[in-house]
């Protein structure tokens, strides 16, 4: 059993297609749909989809930045040093040209799930090398999804898998991944667990001093 999700080629293909289609920060509902669909091609959970988009977007952006820097430096070589920051502003960011077509999902908005999209999209400056200055380019990519209600990302993590490893996913909320939650006892304020952070003070091994 692998310790992490290993997407099938089909799954990757579909995800990339969606990405190219313009999906960047799928909302919980979208994640549910995507997960349901992709689970036809192999084991997958909502969080995998969530992470995939996060990583893919981040690394896409990263690649773009490198390209921009390289191009910038090339320009520096070919021209005299003069206010090159402005040049960068004309290097439009390739990856997500504000996509309008090929929206892959639609669903009932009646339940109030759909977030409002703030529409201050147009501005996307790059401001690359100015240190200590916010790069506006990021804002272009930045999601503006603001979920109205209280759903949030819990929903996106719900497992949808129709792939039957066990019989069927039990419909009871007290069971998560076959583990009953059992509403643990309230606050035995005695110290025992040490299950937190690295706050273990395991000063046992006296390697230092």
Partner DNA sequence: GCAAATTAATGATTTATTCAAG
Partner DNA sequence: CTTGAATAAATCATTAATTTGC
Site for DNA in 98-117 (CB under 7 A): none
12 touches, from its own copies, DNA, none (C-beta below 5 to 8 Å by class):
DNA
- Residue whose pair of structure tokens reads 């969080």 in the numeric block: 47
According to CB under 8 A, which one of 11, 30, 68, 88 is a site residue for its own copies?
30
CB of 131 to DNA, least distance (A): 11
Q: What is residue 111's DSSP assignment?
A: T
According to CB under 8 A, which one of 75, 79, 94, 152 is a site residue for its own copies?
152
Query: What is the C-alpha to C-alpha distance for residues 34 and 113, in angstroms, rounded to an integer?
Result: 16
Query: What is the C-alpha to C-alpha distance for residues 169 and 166, in angstroms, rounded to an integer?
Result: 7
Among residues 100, 12, 95, the alpha carbon closest in space to that of 61 is found at 95
Q: Pairing mode, if any, of strands 179-180 and 175-176?
A: antiparallel
Residue 11 in contact with its own copies, rule: CB under 8 A: no
Region 38-97 residues binding its own copies, contact defined as CB under 8 A: 45-47, 96
Segment interacting with DNA, rule: CB under 7 A, options 49-57, 88-96, 105-113, 169-177 = 49-57
154 touches, from its own copies, DNA, none (C-beta below 5 to 8 Å by class):
its own copies
Residue 47 in contact with DNA, rule: CB under 7 A: yes
Tokens of 141: 């990519």
Q: Is the dihedral of CA 200, 202, 208, 209 positive or negative?
A: positive
Segment interacting with DNA, rule: CB under 7 A, options 4-12, 76-84, 163-171, 176-184 = 4-12
Residue 174: CB atoms within 10 A of its CB come to: 10
Kindly tell me which of 40 and 79 has the beta carbon lying closer to DNA. 40
Query: What is the C-alpha to C-alpha distance for residues 201 and 194, in angstroms, rounded to an integer?
Result: 10
Residues forming contacts to DNA in the complex (CB under 7 A) are 2-7, 12, 25, 47-48, 51-52, 54-59, 61, 118, 134-135, 138-139, 141-147, 152-153
């Amino acid at each position: 059993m692998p310790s992490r999700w290993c997407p099938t080629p089909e799954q990757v293909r579909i995800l990339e297609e969606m990405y190219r289609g313009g999906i960047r920060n799928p909302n919980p509902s979208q994640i549910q749909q995507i997960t349901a669909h992709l689970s036809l091609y192999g084991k997958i959970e909502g969080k995998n989809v969530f992470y995939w988009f996060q990583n893919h977007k981040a690394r896409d952006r990263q690649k773009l930045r490198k390209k921009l820097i390289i191009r910038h430096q090339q320009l520096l070589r070919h021209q005299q040093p003069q206010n090159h920051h402005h040049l960068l502003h004309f290097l439009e960011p390739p990856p997500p040209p504000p996509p309008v077509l090929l929206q892959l999902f639609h669903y009932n908005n009646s339940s109030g799930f759909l977030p409002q999209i703030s529409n201050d999209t147009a501005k996307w400056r790059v401001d690359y090398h100015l240190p200590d200055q916010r790069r506006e380019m990021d804002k272009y990519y930045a999601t503006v999804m603001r979920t109205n209600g209280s759903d949030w990302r819990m929903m996106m993590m719900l497992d949808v898998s129709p792939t039957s490893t066990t019989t069927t996913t039990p419909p009871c909320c007290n069971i998560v991944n076959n583990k009953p939650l059992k509403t643990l006892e309230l606050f035995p304020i005695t110290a025992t667990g040490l299950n937190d952070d690295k706050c273990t003070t395991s000063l046992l091994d006296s390697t230092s001093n």
